[in-house]
Amino acid sequence: MSAQGSTGNVIAAICSFFIPGLGQLVQGRVLSAIGWFVTACVAFVITWLLTLSLLPFGWFVVSVFSCINAAVYRRPLA
């Protein structure tokens, strides 16, 4: 999982699309994974309250950004 578009990043992006933060967890970035998951939960609750539970789309929006974040991740050179 060292370069953009690698198989590992594609798998991580797919995981993050369904559960925000799961792809980051697969990549070994625990704090980032927790941050994305908490952000998705907060976004879900906010949009659920604002739309009176008609269309809580906050989770979907955050999952798309989480997916992109997992897909473009490059492991830092050390």
**How far is it between the farthest Cα atoms of the chain?**
48
pLDDT, mean of residues 29-43: 97
pLDDT at 56 over 90: no
Q: What is the pLDDT of residue 6?
A: 80
pLDDT at 48 over 60: yes
Domain boundaries, the chain: 7-72
- Compute φ and ψ for 3, nearest 5 degrees: -130, 155
Q: What amino acid is encoded at 41 in this protein?
A: C
What global pTM score does this model have? 0.88
pLDDT at 1 over 50: no
Q: Tokens 């980032």 appear where?
A: 32
State whether residue 3 is helix, strand or coil: coil
**Cα three-residue angle 69-28-11, rounded to 5 degrees:** 55
Cα–chain-centroid distance for residue 16? 4
